[in-house]
Structure 1
Amino acid sequence: MLVGYARSSTIDQVASIESQERELRAAGCEEVYIEQVSSVDLVRRERFEEAVKFCRKGDVLVCTKLDRLARSVPHLVEIQQRLEAKGVALKILDMGLDTSTAQGRLMFNIVGSIAQFEREIMLERQREGIAKAKAEGKYKGRKPTARAKAEEVRKLAAEGMGATAIASQLGIGRASVYRILGD
């Protein structure tokens, strides 16, 4: 079964949603999940999650464009891995990408390999930059937030406040509260 997913960023993009739905129906999608969520909020895509949950082994999740599905290539790879674990293929219409075919899997793997390469190069540059900054005495690392509040943690604990309440009030993790109190 072909399962479609359409997304627009704002309520004002009615034409975009309607166009995507038409394309998905024309491609043969029997079920189409639609939502209006900004790419910034792609973490909370309820309709997307419903679509993935609906898909069964042998189904194909179809999207009109890559940017309607994922915010980046690593995000796309993550989505593909979730689908693959369920035995579901991915099809992106405007790219002609279809992971149910040998050519589609090849194209997807090439895109994924390039993304991984870019990520590794970026991390390498970041490590080099940090090493250089440390050598020049310019890099101090992240300021320890919880340890800086140790005095406040002990004071609130002495007043009888629980670890969860202390963590919430001071904006630190509960484990940090326990770590400070254990010292």
Structure 2
Amino acid sequence: MLIGYARTSTLDQIAGLLAQKEALTGIGCEKLFEEQTSSVGTRSALQAALEFVREGDTLMVTKLDRLARSVRHLGEIVEALERKGVGLRVLDLGLDTANATGKLMLNVLGAVAQFEREMMLERQREGIAKAKADGKYRGRKPTAQFKRAEVLCLLAAGTPKREIARVTGISERSVYRVLSEA
């Protein structure tokens, strides 16, 4: 049985998720697990897919970065699949762990992807440090502080904190922060 796994990092990436789902169903996946969550967050659909697969099945993903966050994580996933007698295919790379060459290429490309990610983060940190030194970087605007008066007004009116967060578009934690600073 072909089982597909699709993931995007944010809820805004609807088109990306749809494209993954189309590719996976188009290749013949009979069951599809999907989620919109960061790779570092809890990925319940991936866990469900790994628990669902049975011997002889193949787990399919469109891209390697949709599956694993690091070479180590990729290795853990592949090892878990191998213990169950399940293969892994990565569509955009044409990789299939059913053969030795596919396993080798998966590890090599996983290492390259992790290296690329680490280099990008390093360049990002350097850029932020330079922008701060030049006085051009100030970070994210404190959204909750701009809505402080509205939050306090709603609190005074007896509106529940969860409702205030929903209405103002800030987190419930930010509502509590405004309250503690008032």
The answer to whether TM tops 0.5 is yes
Partner residue, 1:128: 126
Partner residue, 2:80: 85
Give the Cα–Cα distance (whole angstroms) in 2 for the partners of residues 141 and 4 of structure 1: 45
What is the CA-CA distance between 1:84 and the residue it aligns to?
A: 4.1
Partner residue, 2:58: 61
Q: Alpha-carbon deviations, 1:115-173, whole Å to 9, x = none?
A: 01100111111111111111111111110111221222111111111100110110000
Partner residue, 1:95: 94
AA of the residue aligned to 1:95: G
Aligned-pair Cα RMSD in Å: 3.8
Instruction: Classify 1:150/1:83 alpha carbon distance in 2 versus 1 (closer, same or farther; 3 Å).
Output: farther
- What TM-score does the superposition give when structure 2 sets the normalisation length? 0.65
Larger Rg: 1
Note if 1:167 corresponds to 2:158: no
Tell me the percent identity.
39
Does structure 1 retain, via aligned residues, the 8 Å contact 2:95–2:106? no
Of 1, 4, 15 in structure 1, the residue corresponding to residue 2 of structure 2 is: 4
Q: Alpha-carbon deviations, 1:101-120, whole Å to 9, x = none?
A: 44332211111110011001
Which segment is superposed worse, 155-164 or 87-96?
87-96
AA of the residue aligned to 1:76: L
Give the Cα–Cα distance (whole angstroms) in 1 for the partners of residues 127 and 99 of structure 2: 42
Partner residue, 2:137: 139
Aligned residues: 153
Of 76, 85, 110 in structure 1, the residue corresponding to residue 67 of structure 2 is: 76
- What TM-score does the superposition give when structure 1 sets the normalisation length? 0.64
Does structure 2 retain, via aligned residues, the 8 Å contact 1:97–1:107? no
Give the Cα–Cα distance (whole angstroms) in 2 for the partners of residues 124 and 178 of structure 1: 34
Partner residue, 1:104: 102
Q: Secondary structure at the match of 1:77?
A: coil
Instruction: Classify 1:113/1:174 alpha carbon distance in 2 versus 1 (closer, same or farther; 3 Å).
Output: same
Q: Secondary structure at the match of 1:172?
A: coil
Partner residue, 1:29: none
Note if 1:33 corresponds to 2:30: yes
Give the Cα–Cα distance (whole angstroms) in 1 for the partners of residues 94 and 64 of structure 2: 13
Q: Which runs of 5+ in 2 are unaligned?
A: 7-17, 38-44
